[in-house]
Structure 1
Amino acid sequence: MFNGLSAFPITPFKNEAIDFDAFEKIVDNLVDAKVDSICAMGSTGLYPYLKPDEIFQVAKKTVEIANDVPVMAGVGALRTVDVLKNVEAAQRAGVSAVLLAPVSYHPLNDQEVFSLYEKVTQELSVSLCVYENPRVTQFTFSDDLYKSITQLPNVGAIKIPGMPFATDEGNARLAQLRAIVPSTVAIGVSGDQFGAAGMQAGCDLWLSVLGGLFPRTVQRLIRGSDIASLQQKLTPMWQCFVEHKGGLRVMATAAAILGYSESNCLPSPLLPVSGEHRDALEKMLNLLALD
Structure 2
Amino acid sequence: MFSGLSAFPLSPLNEAGIDEATFVRLIERLVTAGVDSIGALGSTGSYAYLSQRERLRIAQLAVQHAGDVPVIVGIGALRTRDVLALAHDAQQVGARGVLLAPVSYQRLSDDEVFGLFDAVTRSLSVPLCVYDNPSTTHFEFSDTLHGRIAQLPNVASIKLPGVPADPEAARVRVARLRALVPAHVTLGVSTDAFAATGLNAQCDVWYSVIGGLFPEVALAITRAAQAGAAEDVTRRSERLAPLWALFNQYGSLRVIAAAAELCGLVSTPSLPLPVKSLHGEARQHLATILDALALS
The TM-score bracket by the shorter chain reads over 0.9
Q: How does 1:1-291 map to 2 (within 5 A)?
A: 1-224=1-224, 226-244=232-250, 246-290=251-295
SS across alignment from 2:116: helix
- What amino acid maps onto 1:243 in structure 2? Q
Task: Supply the AA of the counterpart residue of 2:267.
Answer: E
Q: How many residues align?
A: 290
Deviation of 1:167 (Å): 4.0
Aligned equivalents of 1:13, 1:73: Cα separation in 2: 18
- Could you tell me whether the CA contact under 8 Å between 2:167 and 2:197 is conserved in 1? no
Deviations 1:21-49 (A, max 9, x none): 11111111100000000000111101111
What is the Cα deviation at residue 15 of structure 1? Answer: 3.5
Which letter maps to 1:237? L
- 1:174-214 per-residue CA deviation (whole Å, 9 max, x = no partner) reads 11111110001111111100111111111110000010001
- State the identity %: 48
CA RMSD of aligned residues (A): 1.3
AA aligned to 1:47 is Y
The Cα shift of 1:227 comes to: 2.8
Which one-letter code corresponds to 1:52 in the other structure? Q
Q: Is the 8 A contact 2:80 2:116 kept in 1?
A: yes
Code of the aligned partner of 1:92: Q
Q: Which runs of 5+ in 2 are unaligned?
A: none
- State TM-score, norm by structure 2: 0.95
Give me the whole-angstrom Cα distance separating, in 1, the residues matched to 2:235 and 2:115: 45
TM-superposed CA distance for 1:163, in Å, is 3.4
Shift of 1:51: 1.6
Structure 1: which 5+ residue stretches go unaligned? none
2:188 partner SS:
strand
In the alignment, the residues of structure 2 paired with residue 105 and residue 95 of structure 1 have an alpha-carbon distance, to the nearest angstrom, of 27
Give me the TM-score of the superposition, normalised by structure 1: 0.96
